[in-house]
């Protein structure tokens, strides 16, 4: 079309002033009309007739050459154009079209020589510069092409194709901003230039100006609705604006137009994965693997889709292919870490994330996932370090901040966790786990009322979840808010009538409100659902004890200690009730068992404490043993140390708060059995009670070094944190212990 427009312009400026014969002039004019109408055969015949009458007319040869060229007869076109040049060596148009003829014949050097002649004779003939640039472009000489395009723009500045091609050159050179400027100039001339809108849209996409990119690409599709690349780019712009459904529509359209489009299959796989459409994601990544077998992302995507599906074998095959293709790609090791974590191998998972960070230390998600895995492994110091690094790289990473708060909770650093969780819940007011963690942090600070409010907020987010109502009720119970506790616990029971824990907590709430009969009913309901519920038997036993119903008390406590023989308080109460009933042997046995239990951790009091002193004792029918007799039983228990050695005696000393004697007994045990965990934590606690903080700290550290996940590790960490606050002179000791073999940290 461009050639025809140019031809018409040339016809208007041409002249037949050399014609002498009127008949020749008529043939020539008729030939021009046929040429304008693209009836090239008829035009050729008329020009030939004119030449018979005037065989040396320059314009007749020139136009005959044009007609032959348009009629795809380059040899004849060359003969006639050269004849015109022979008759008029300074005919720029003839040189121009001779150059076009050589382009048709793919003789670029000859074409360039002809274009140069035309420019030499007529420098303002701007279209020649454009054609010269095209010839150099086909030879890959982009520098010369750019030079001639700029010159063309001086003379024919209203041609959009000049600025468009200049834009493409700049784009290929990496000068995207310069390219955009040229494309926009082309669009000013021709607002409907679809390819110009496409390039501008891609520019905005690269600049992360996604809404502007989308606007330009929508314009582009109006002119090129069947171009797959434009649909793909539009899909990308929508993806980055979180318009995932619309993005998928655009990507699927691109694939319908061009099924052999690897990048579109890759994006389809990502979008299907977001929709949890594992089958389609696998299909997309398989197509990508067929089209680009060496595409690492394709293999990773395929591996991920198998991982999500739980297909361990095929996931492993795909991920190993990805590693073989690019062993130093951090993304590959990251995805392998996700794979190992999903299938429960935390050690290999952490190693993979560490490798990813070796190749890219600023890989934010790898830092975050490494922190999560460390936390799951109980390596809280390392978890904290990884998560803080994540936040340095991206301070707005809320998932990392939330995970850090959970680590702080595990370390007993409630204040820090509380500070982080307040910010997180402001940012994520609908985050269920965030509100629950906030409740846990408040509980750690012993602020049970605020904890209850946090749990209450969580229950509003999932109104039909009985667990959330129960958590709120338990917190209100600890805050001594009986009415609110009853309301939330009853809501949990209404949602789940056979909820054992809820009925048990309901009994506790009634106890708090001193409604003992209702408490008994609640615990009995608990046992009707779960006859082996220790807490219900234990609490009923205590209620009956304080009411003086000793036979019923014995019945419940005997069942309780059968279910949990190591519960020292249950054994202790059983000893007391046996004493009340005059069963000295049984009382002595129960007292002895109670002393053998973990009395050393009596400092670890449960959060809930019921004041049973308010319960009214009924008159008992059995004469109770007096206080002196009870003391005698305790002394006898102390003397029974043949089977338990000095541990039993140490526990007895602890029970009587005889700290120095207990210390001596624990030291005797550790001298022969240095790895005895109970003796180690017991020694630490009695030193703590004597305010010998420095030695206590040493013992807590020894315990944590050997038993970082031991039964009393959380208690030991709490004590260390307390000691740090109590006496700043130990700060250096805490800091020095930051990188222990088992990941223990006191900082």
For residue 674, pLDDT over 70 is answered with yes
Tokens 């025809």 sit on residue: 4
Q: Quick one: pLDDT band at residue 226, thresholds 50, 70, 90?
A: very high
Calculate the average pLDDT of the chain.
81
Q: Quick one: pLDDT band at residue 728, thresholds 50, 70, 90?
A: low
Length of the chain: 747
User: pLDDT tens digits for 529-576?
Assistant: 999 999 999 999 999 988 889 899 989 999 998 999 888 888 888 888
- First vs last C-alpha separation in the chain: 78
CA dist., res. 380 & res. 737, Å (int): 13
- For the chain, percent of residues with pLDDT exceeding 70: 87
The pLDDT, as a whole number, for residue 610 is 30
Which string of DSSP letters, residue by residue, matches 685-713?
HHHHHTT-HHHHHHHHHHHHHH-TTSTTH
**Full 3-state SS string of 114-173:** HHHHHHHHCCCCHHHHHHHHHHHHHCCCHHHHHHHHHHHHHHCCCCHHHHHHHHHHHHHC
Which residues, 6 or more positions from 123, have their beta carbon under 8 angstroms from its beta carbon?
Answer: none
- Number of neighbouring beta carbons within 10 Å of residue 329: 18
Kindly state the tokens that stand for 273: 């994965």
- Number of neighbouring beta carbons within 10 Å of residue 641: 16
Q: Quick one: pLDDT band at residue 134, thresholds 50, 70, 90?
A: confident
CA dihedral 162, 166, 168, 172 (to 10 degrees): 160
CA dist., res. 269 & res. 248, Å (int): 10
Q: Quick one: pLDDT band at residue 20, thresholds 50, 70, 90?
A: low
Kindly state the tokens that stand for 243: 């318009």
CA dist., res. 572 & res. 598, Å (int): 12
For residue 624, pLDDT over 60 is answered with no
The pLDDT, as a whole number, for residue 646 is 65
CA dist., res. 127 & res. 139, Å (int): 19
Kindly state the tokens that stand for 426: 């402001």
For residue 369, pLDDT over 80 is answered with yes
Kindly state the tokens that stand for 227: 């171009």
The pLDDT, as a whole number, for residue 655 is 76
Q: Quick one: pLDDT band at residue 144, thresholds 50, 70, 90?
A: confident
CA dist., res. 263 & res. 270, Å (int): 11
Of 512, 521, 523, nearest to 615 (Cα)? Answer: 512
Q: Quick one: pLDDT band at residue 611, thresholds 50, 70, 90?
A: very low
Q: Quick one: pLDDT band at residue 726, thresholds 50, 70, 90?
A: low
Which residues, 6 or more positions from 94, have their beta carbon under 8 angstroms from its beta carbon?
Answer: 62, 65, 81, 84, 85, 88
User: pLDDT tens digits for 374-431?
Assistant: 999 889 999 999 999 999 999 889 899 999 999 999 888 888 899 899 999 998 899 8
Kindly state the tokens that stand for 347: 């050690």
User: pLDDT tens digits for 425-469?
Assistant: 998 899 899 999 999 999 888 899 999 999 999 999 999 999 999
DSSP 620: P
Q: Quick one: pLDDT band at residue 735, thresholds 50, 70, 90?
A: very low
Kindly state the tokens that stand for 83: 């004849």
CA dist., res. 691 & res. 676, Å (int): 23
CA dist., res. 330 & res. 361, Å (int): 9
CA distances from 172 to 137, 169, 177, 234 (A): 12, 5, 12, 21
CA dist., res. 468 & res. 438, Å (int): 13
The pLDDT, as a whole number, for residue 603 is 33
CA dist., res. 221 & res. 228, Å (int): 10
CA distances from 591 to 269, 560, 570 (A): 67, 15, 10
Which residues, 6 or more positions from 293, have their beta carbon under 8 angstroms from its beta carbon?
Answer: none
Kindly state the tokens that stand for 214: 């989308």
Average pLDDT rounded to a whole number, residues 286-313: 78
Which residues, 6 or more positions from 708, have their beta carbon under 8 angstroms from its beta carbon?
Answer: 378, 740, 742, 743, 744
The pLDDT, as a whole number, for residue 739 is 35
**Full 3-state SS string of 447-463:** CHHHHHHHHHHHHHHCC
CA dist., res. 727 & res. 723, Å (int): 6
Q: Quick one: pLDDT band at residue 257, thresholds 50, 70, 90?
A: very high
DSSP H helix total and E strand total for the chain: 42, 0
Average pLDDT rounded to a whole number, residues 578-589: 85
Average pLDDT rounded to a whole number, residues 625-639: 45
567: helix, strand or coil: coil
Structural contact between residues 504 and 485, judged by C-beta atoms closer than 8 angstroms: no
CA dist., res. 198 & res. 152, Å (int): 24
Which residues, 6 or more positions from 79, have their beta carbon under 8 angstroms from its beta carbon?
Answer: 65
- For the chain, percent of residues with pLDDT exceeding 90: 25
Structural contact between residues 68 and 61, judged by C-beta atoms closer than 8 angstroms: no
Kindly state the tokens that stand for 221: 């599709």
The pLDDT, as a whole number, for residue 597 is 64
For residue 19, pLDDT over 50 is answered with no
Structural contact between residues 612 and 546, judged by C-beta atoms closer than 8 angstroms: yes
pTM over 0.85: no
User: Is residue 40 within a helix (H) or strand (E), and if so which, with residue range?
Assistant: helix 40-53
Structural contact between residues 550 and 580, judged by C-beta atoms closer than 8 angstroms: yes
DSSP 625: P
CA dist., res. 193 & res. 188, Å (int): 9
CA dist., res. 682 & res. 700, Å (int): 10
């Amino acid at each position: 079309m461009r050639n025809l427009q140019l031809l018409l312009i040339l016809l208007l400026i041409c002249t037949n002033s050399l014609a002498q014969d009127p008949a020749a002039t008529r043939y020539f004019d008729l030939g021009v009309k046929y040429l304008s109408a693209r009836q090239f055969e008829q035009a050729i015949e008329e020009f030939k007739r004119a030449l018979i009458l005037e065989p040396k007319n320059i314009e007749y040869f020139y136009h005959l050459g044009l007609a032959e060229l348009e009629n795809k007869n380059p040899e004849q076109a060359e003969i006639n154009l050269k004849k015109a040049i022979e008759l008029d060596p300074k005919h720029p148009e003839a040189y121009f079209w001779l150059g076009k003829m050589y382009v048709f014949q793919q003789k670029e050097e000859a074409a360039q020589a002809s274009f140069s002649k035309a420019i030499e004779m007529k420098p303002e003939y701007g279209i020649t510069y454009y054609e010269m640039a095209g010839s150099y472009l086909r030879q890959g000489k982009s520098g010369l092409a750019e030079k001639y395009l700029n010159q063309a723009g001086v003379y024919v500045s209203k041609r959009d194709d000049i600025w468009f091609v200049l834009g493409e050159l700049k784009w290929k050179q990496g000068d995207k901003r310069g390219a955009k400027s040229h494309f926009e100039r082309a669009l000013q001339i021709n607002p409907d230039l679809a390819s110009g809108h496409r390039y501008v849209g891609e520019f905005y996409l690269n600049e992360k100006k996604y809404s502007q990119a989308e606007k330009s690409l929508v314009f582009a599709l109006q002119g090129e609705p069947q171009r797959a690349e434009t649909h793909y780019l539009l899909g990308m712009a929508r993806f980055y604006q979180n318009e995932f459904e619309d993005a998928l529509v655009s990507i699927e359209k691109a694939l319908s137009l061009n099924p052999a489009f690897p990048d579109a299959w890759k994006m389809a796989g990502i979008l299907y994965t977001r929709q949890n459409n594992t089958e389609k994601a696998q299909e997309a990544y398989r197509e990508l693997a067929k089209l680009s077998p060496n595409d690492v992302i394709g293999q990773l995507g395929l591996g991920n889709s198998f991982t999500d599906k739980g297909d361990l074998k095929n996931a492993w095959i795909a991920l190993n292919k990805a590693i073989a293709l690019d062993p130093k790609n951090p993304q590959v090791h990251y995805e392998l870490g996700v794979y190992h974590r999903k299938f429960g191998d935390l050690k290999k998972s952490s190693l993979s994330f560490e490798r990813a960070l070796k190749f890219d230390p600023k890989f934010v998600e790898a830092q975050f996932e490494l922190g999560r895995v460390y936390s799951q492994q109980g390596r809280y110091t390392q978890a904290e370090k990884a998560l803080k690094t994540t936040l340095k790289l991206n301070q707005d990473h809320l998932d990392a901040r939330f995970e850090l708060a959970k680590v702080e909770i595990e370390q007993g650093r409630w204040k820090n966790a509380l500070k982080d969780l307040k910010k997180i819940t402001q940012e994520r007011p609908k985050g269920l786990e965030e509100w629950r963690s906030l409740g846990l942090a408040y509980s750690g600070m012993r602020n049970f009322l605020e904890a209850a409010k946090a749990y209450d907020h969580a229950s509003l987010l999932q109104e039909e979840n009985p667990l959330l109502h129960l958590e709120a009720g338990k917190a209100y119970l600890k805050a001594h808010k009986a009415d609110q506790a009853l309301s939330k616990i009853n809501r949990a029971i209404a949602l789940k009538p056979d909820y054992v824990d809820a009925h048990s907590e309901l009994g506790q709430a009634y106890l708090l409100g001193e409604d003992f009969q209702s408490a008994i009913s609640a615990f009995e309901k608990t046992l009707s659902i779960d006859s082996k519920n220790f807490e219900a038997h234990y609490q009923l036993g205590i209620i009956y004890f304080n009411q003086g119903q000793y036979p019923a008390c014995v019945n419940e406590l005997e069942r309780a200690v059968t279910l949990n023989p190591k519960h020292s308080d249950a054994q202790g109460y059983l000893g007391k009730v046996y004493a009340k009933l005059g069963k000295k042997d049984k009382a002595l046995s129960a007292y002895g068992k109670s002393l053998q239990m973990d009395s050393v951790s009596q400092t670890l009091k449960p959060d809930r404490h019921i004041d049973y002193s308010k319960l009214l004792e009924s008159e008992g029918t059995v004469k109770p043993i007096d206080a002196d007799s009870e003391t005698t039983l305790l002394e006898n228990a102390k003397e029974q140390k043949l089977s338990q050695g000095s541990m039993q005696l140490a526990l007895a000393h602890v029970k009587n708060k005889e700290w120095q004697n207990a210390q001596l007994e624990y030291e005797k045990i550790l001298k022969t059995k240095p790895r005895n965990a109970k003796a180690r934590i017991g020694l630490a606690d009695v030193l703590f009670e004597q305010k010998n903080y420095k030695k206590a700290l040493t013992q807590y550290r020894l315990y944590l070094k050997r038993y970082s996940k031991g039964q009393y590790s959380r208690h030991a960490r709490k004590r260390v944190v307390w000691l740090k606050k109590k006496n700043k002179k130990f700060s250096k000791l805490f800091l020095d212990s930051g990188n222990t073999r088992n990941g223990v940290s006191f900082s």
